[in-house]
Structure 1
Amino acid sequence: MADDTTLLPDPRDTLQHVFGFPDFRGVQRQVVDRVLNGQSTLAVMPTGAGKSLTYQLPAVMLEGTCIVISPLIALMHDQLRSARANGVRAATLTSADADWRETMDAFRAGTLDLLYVAPERASQPQFLDFLTSAPVALFAIDEAHCVSEWGHDFRPDYRGLRPLLDSFPEVPRLALTATADHHTRGDILTQLGIPEDGLIVAGFDRPNIRYTIRHRDNPVRQIARLMEDEPGPGIVYAPTRRKVEDMAVKLAAATGRDVLPYHAGLPPEERAANQAAFVASEDMVIVATVAFGMGIDKPDVRFVAHAGIPKSIEAYYQETGRAGRDGDPSQAVMFWGAEDFAIARQRLGEMGDARQEGERKRLDALAALVETPACRRAILLRHFGEDPPEQCGNCDNCLAPPEVIDATELARKLLSAVYRTGQTFGFGHIQKVLVGMEDERVRQRGHDNLSVFGIVEREEAPLLQPLVHTLKAHGVLVQTEHNGLALGGAARAILLGEKPVSIARPPARSRSRGKRASQDANPVGNPLFEALRTLRREMAEQAGVPPYVIFHDAVLREMALSSPSSLSEMGRISGVGQKKLDAYGDAFLAVIRQY
């Protein structure tokens, strides 16, 4: 293990020669230098910031094998393809690999740069014995937030890694995650034995993603419109398996696009086939439960849509982060309903006291994101401890600022009506009482004689529905077993005039569309760009890999714009390393010369 980077060549030379990049991005160089110096590190880097390069590059430069601990087989195989395409000697050791004997022999012979394993295997005593048979250069722990009980995606097997790491005290540890708040970061450092001065936080901003949050009225129609605006690949998250399958069928019928379902209840072979088809496609949409995505390193996902609320802001950040990993403009759109929060708050009551408080805070934070009339990105970044500008210019509220209304008095009227009618009736009945509509049910129960009957003016009435959504999201109104409304949370403080309530005025319904986020990302319609994409598709099919493993869209875009006339000129394009230049350069040059 080198303890002085001066003993090694300049990592930028390896970066250019192997990976085809002229220089490091963001904090990559800081992380790589620490690894090359033998220092353990926790790197918190946003999705798309190039986390895998921070261990792949040292793995090529250092003597011995880098052991990468990763939570999903699909993710390992995806990264394996990309590493091998750059000429990195990589292998996986999983239950899905028939060549495990050859992989173990290659490790013992010292001919592997990278070896990917799951935490379940890495925490076994026999794996420790195996690792003593050859030099280990580095332990890279991917998705490191899984080690923390404070994280949103806790995996107990990650807790068993410490004995393995401690058995190799001279080998540095590199923990990587895109989603860890302040508390979770501290827990990761403790659990993996990384010193506090080993923390590098790159920031959480993904400026290429446009965030939009809308109330859900007809999710199939709303997502179909999004698909019309965004012709590239997309992921739609639905809350249940039944809704996944139903929505996949309806979206395919509504748009004519290829749309496939993905959830844990599908037969394994169908699930694997659907995932493989999506990864290889340049325009497919997959409808999935949140189980889908961590195993996907597909860079060209142009949109992520949620047909319901995620579990938390951390989960939302991670799920939306699957859009635009290539850095091109992309969209993250959430369609939510008040019933989502009602169901989530009911589940809180079923949890033990220890978890309940933390989960309630997460749900409140999510409600604040959904309901804010201010910048969505600022709310997200503040949640992770950053100090962003007040406006980002690339979320729905910044692009079309909503009118904010003081709804405190209207909220007091609404809550009074809920209380005086007995906290058993649904919104429809409460609304009739408040606007003074005398139907038989209202008269029968004597609600036309209440002091709250008819106290809402005609111009205020359209605000009742969005106000109910807001109060439900914050737990001020809770849904009863029979879908009635009851008071909860801060209802008393609002009724007493101690807590103000504001809401954003609902936008007028319109069929006009905004300019799509990725409209100018690729020169679609440019004959050369389309020809390069066609060649890439043919090569990918022949090699049995997704098109992006050959080259990203950004590389093809640069080829179409600069039209290199020689291999040396093509080699100067970012993302074209020596192995790819040798393998594909002549074929792409031949197409460019035709134009």
Structure 2
Amino acid sequence: MSTGIREAREALKLYFGYEQFRPMQEQIISNVLGGQDVLVLMPTGGGKSVCYQVPAVVMPGLCVVVSPLIALMKDQVEALLVNGIPAAYLNSSQSGEEQYDIENKCLNGAIKLLYVSPEKLLSAGFFSFLKRLQVSLFAVDEAHCISAWGHDFRPEYTQLRALKQQFPAIPVVALTATADKLTQKDIQEQLQLNQPEVFVASFDRPNINLMVQSGQNRLHKITEFLGRHHGQPGIIYCLSRKATESLAKKLKENGYNATFYHAGMNAQLRAKAQEAFLRDDVQIVCATIAFGMGIDKSNVRWVIHYNLPKNIEGYYQEIGRAGRDGAKSDALLFYSFADVINMRNMLSENDKAQTELQLVKLERMQQFAEATFCRRRILLQYFGETMPKDCGNCDICRNPPTSFDGTLLVQKALSAIARTQERVNMSLLVDVLRGSRNSQVLSSGYDRIKTYGAGRDIGTLDWHRYLHQMLNAGLIELAYDQNYTLKLTDQSRQVLFEGRKIELVKFEEVKQQDEPRIKEKPKREIIRDALFERLRALRKRLADELNVPPYVVFTDSTLQEMAAEKPTNKIAMLSISGVGAQKFERYGHDFISEIIAFMTEEQAKGSAIKGATHLVTWEAYKQGYSPEEIAQQRKLNPITIYSHLATLLEQGYAIPVKDFVSKREYDSIVEAIEKLGRDAKLKELFEYLDERYEYFKIRLSLAMYKKQYAW
């Protein structure tokens, strides 16, 4: 193993609290440490930041990170500082004096990571300033913004090719969560990367439950959904600014703690809304996609799309803001064909060179929404990744649709299209089939055709679903240039005149999982969840005191592991994923105290918590009670209490052995330990010492000897 990788692993544990790298991280870091340009495609929450933050710590000098949003820089710098890594940012939100101070720290070698916006990087004189520093690495975050083929193109990014022109010998790592092959190629060319190694991680986020529901009664469905996610932070993405405000207002009227966010708000109001959400002061934010890359919040438990996104890249990146910590999360998409029409109209207003590509991407998004098999497989296939079996964590897998002979139903629809001279759109066709007597049907004389009312036994929503399937199967076409009227195809004629049979899929709404048949949680899980809430409250208090978002202290997944494992000493706490040495020194003792207090309270209530009984003894001992008094209070044998004290000493608690063992006794016991070996059994020591000393004295002395405590 190279020295660099060994140092990288040590840095990962020391600063980030993780024992090992995630898939691909070590290979990426190895290439970066070797001075190689790298392009990294890794899903949101997959650990992209570690790919440049760890090398920045290990390499001499400074890493410059180009980041598109001030809020994102601020969050990442706060998290690095909490982890004990010197970091700073330079952007337009700071005064000249603040920027001057940070630049001086950089010149003095006191900063390891410096975050800058593209505008700051390219501002007059900044490259000259960087040339006075020992720059070890450039990291370009959200690199898809550089490509006009990407889903979030930003013109200011196109000038970043100057990095390689000005600093040809310094490696560049470009990172993004979403980029198809065309965008990947464009990123490499635009940044002028030198024969970069390209790393494409798995896009699978198995912890996210994928769901699609019809767009009818959205508000009612959202409140039902929120009822199952009480107190959990989440984002609702809406198509328009007006919709974000309207929905937030309705949710607040229903008792939910919600706010809104969109590009039409002034910067101060946007910052206030985002800060409230990041700090868990607000549970729900209703937002347009303007609420995007700055969301580095690890404990978002759900994302709802109120409207259909315009492409799979955007959808994937937005749902990726849920469950960044790896814990279970939900992604719910509402879909209606009206959303497709609205989106097509919006896209058609764009530059013609881009419109065709964007319309193709929209069609892929529509196919995902109308899927009849595992949604995750469709999602991964889009990014060029195959999945050998269904995921089991999407609505289709949980509620597989059943097929039926839909030939007669399809014939009715095709006949109605033919008899209306192919002049009806989907909604009007459904009205005709269901026998509606609205003004458009009657004024067009469609109430007089043979198939009028032929499908009145099928509901409006189901008709739309069947027509979407017919559209996807090529049985009908949509004339986008003729007000979205439906047209027959060669395949239509095969069904109408040549006896071709058609299978359709019948859908049922997925039953929610909060029905009475759900088993009551075991006592162990109830206690674990209660402790998690206690730890979450402690995290919020500490975060507020430090003026940082709660997830910067510890992620939800770290708290969940604490709640499950209940660490009550330093060694146990440091074994929790996400607890590094720096964070332990800062927060570890507070969380240990909270866990001990919780376990003591539960033990006092009669709850049987494994490993808690000696902690109850510890709480009583700290209050000044003798082992005999504690035994009397707890109705236990004094020998049991002494055994608890020995366990506590072994776990690193400050138990004064001198109160229970004399110096003469200790020396005699140590002599026996050194004779028989430190791994000798208590019984062996007891017998060797002619049974002169009680077991608890031997155990206390042995623990003290092994800990190498001075007498």
TM-score normalised per structure 2: 0.76
Native 8 Å contact 1:123 1:157 kept in 2? no
Partner of 2:581: 578
Alpha-carbon displacement from aligned partner over 1:301-337 (angstroms, at most 9, x marks no partner): 0000000001100000000000000000000000011
Whether the 8 Å contact between 1:341 and 1:472 is mirrored in structure 2 is no
Matched residue SS, 1:496: helix
Equivalence for 2:90: 93
Matched positions, count: 585
Matched, 1:495 2:498: no
For the residue of structure 2 that corresponds to 1:206, the secondary structure is coil
Pick the structure with greater CA Rg: 2
Confirm or deny: 8 A CA contact 1:404 1:504 kept in the other structure: yes
Query: What is the 5 A alignment of 1:68-467?
Result: 68-98=65-95, 99-195=98-194, 198-231=197-230, 232-254=232-254, 256-281=255-280, 284-405=283-404, 407=406, 410-411=409-410, 413-421=412-420, 430-435=429-434, 445-456=444-455, 458=457, 463-467=462-466
Q: Over residues 138-184 of structure 1, what are the superposed CA-to-partner deviations in whole Å (9 max), with x where a residue is unaligned?
A: 00011111111111111111110112223212211111111011221
Partner of residue 8 from structure 2, selected from 11, 20, 30? 11
After superposing the two structures, state which structure 1 stretch, 530-539 or 147-156, moved more: 530-539
Distance 2:505 2:286 in 1: 30
Q: Distance in 2 between matches of 1:500 and 1:300?
A: 49
Alpha-carbon distance in 2 for matches of 1:292, 1:439: 41
Deviations 1:48-89 (CA, angstroms, capped at 9, x unpaired): 111111111111111111000111111111111111110111
Which residue type is aligned with residue 505 of structure 2? A
Following the alignment from structure 2 to structure 1, what is the Cα–Cα distance between the partners of residues 5 and 462?
66
Whichever residue aligns with residue 141 of structure 1, its letter is V
1:28 to 25, 28, 40: 25
Whole-Å Cα distance in 1 between the matches of residues 376 and 514 of structure 2?
Answer: 22
Letter in 1 for 2:17: G
Q: Tell me the residue number matched to 1:507.
A: 508
Distance across 1 between alignment mates of 2:437 and 2:295: 56
Q: Go from structure 1 to structure 2 and tell me whether the alpha carbon gap of 1:412 and 1:116 turns closer, same or farther (over 3 Å shift).
A: farther
Amino acid at match of 2:555: H
Specify the code of the residue in structure 1 equivalent to 2:44.
T
In 1, are the aligned partners of 2:164 and 2:193 still within 8 Å (CA)? no
Assess, with a 3 A threshold, how the Cα gap between structure 1 residues 497 and 79 changes in structure 2: closer, same or farther.
farther
Residues 450, 374 of structure 1: alpha-carbon distance in 2 compared, 3 angstrom cutoff: same
Greater share of residues in helix? 2
- Secondary structure of 2:489's match? helix
CA distance, structure 2, for counterparts of residue 109 and residue 331 of structure 1 = 46
Aligned to 1:567: 570
d(CA) in 2 for partners of 1:41 and 1:244? Answer: 38
Shift of 1:346: 2.5
The separation in 2 between residues aligned to 1:463 and 1:61, in whole angstroms, is 59
Distance in 2, Cα, partners of 1:155 & 1:447? 50
Instruction: Single out whichever of 350-359 and 218-227 deviates more from structure 2.
Output: 350-359
The amino acid that maps onto 2:577 is S
The reply to whether residue 476 of structure 1 matches residue 473 of structure 2 is no
Q: C-alpha offsets along residues 334-380 of structure 1, whole Å, 9 cap, x if unaligned?
A: 00111111122233443444212211210111111011110000000
Q: How big is the shift at 1:567?
A: 2.2
Per-residue displacement from partner, 1:482-504 (whole Å, max 9, x unpaired)? xx75136xx43443338997653
The residue aligned with 1:556 is: 559
Change (3 A) 1:412 1:342: farther
- The residue type equivalent to 2:122 in the other structure is S
The one of 28, 34, 37 aligned to 1:40: 37
1:109, CA displacement in angstroms? 1.5
> 1:392 & 1:556 partners in 2: Cα distance?
27
SS in 1 for 2:494: coil
Alignment partner of 1:92: what SS?
A: strand
The one-letter code of the counterpart of 1:582 is: E
**Does the C-alpha gap of structure 1 residues 163 and 125 become closer, same or farther in structure 2, counting only changes over 3 Å?**
farther
> Relative contact order (C-alpha < 8 Å, sep 6+): which is higher?
1
**How many Å apart are 1:278 and its aligned residue?**
0.5
Between 492-501 and 157-166, the greater mean CA deviation after superposition: 492-501
- The one-letter amino acid paired with 1:327 is G
CA-to-aligned-CA distance 1:79-123 (integer Å, 9 cap, x gap): 111111101110000001231111111111121100001112223
Distance 1:57 1:418, change over 3 A: same
Following superposition, the deviation at residue 425 of structure 1 comes to: 5.1
Distance 1:500 1:113 in 2: 67
Given that residues 416 and 495 in structure 1 are in contact (C-alpha distance below 8 angstroms), is that contact kept between their aligned partners in structure 2?
Answer: no
- Aligned to 1:367, what secondary structure does the other structure show? helix
Show the counterpart of 2:538: 535
User: Counterparts of 2:285 and 2:525 in 1: how far apart (Å)?
Assistant: 22
Cα distance in 2 for residues equivalent to 1:462 and 1:529: 42
Call closer, same or farther: CA 1:437–1:546 in 2, change over 3 Å.
Answer: closer
1:139–1:293 CA distance, 2 compared to 1 (3 A): same
User: What is the distance in 2 between the residues matched to 1:561 and 1:478?
Assistant: 57
The offset of 1:586, in angstroms, is: 2.1
Partner SS, residue 331 of structure 2: strand
Q: 1:451 to 1:252 in 2, by over 3 A?
A: same
Provide closer, same or farther for how the CA distance between residues 74 and 145 of structure 1 changes in structure 2, counting only shifts above 3 A. same
Q: CA deviation at 1:480?
A: 8.5
Q: Is the 8 A contact 1:522 1:557 kept in 2?
A: no
| Local SS of the residue matching 2:244 | helix
Q: CA deviation at 1:589?
A: 2.2
Q: Deviations over 1:439-465 (max 9, x none)?
A: 887566443443444554746987423
Greater shift in the superposed pair: 434-443 or 163-172: 434-443
More deviation in 92-101 or 559-568? 559-568
| Structure 1 portions without partners, runs of 5+ | none
Structure 2 residues not aligned, in runs of 5+: 600-711
**Cα-Cα RMSD:** 3.0
8 Å contact 2:143–2:174 — kept in the other structure?
Answer: yes
> Structure 1 residues 577 and 478, CA, compared in 2 at 3 Å: closer, same or farther?
same
**1:226-271 deviation digits (Å, cap 9, x = unpaired):** 11111210000111111111101112222x2211111112232222
Contact 1:139 1:165 in 2 (8 A): no
Please give the alpha-carbon distance, in whole angstroms, between the structure 1 residues aligned to 2:265 and 2:442.
Answer: 51
Identity %: 39
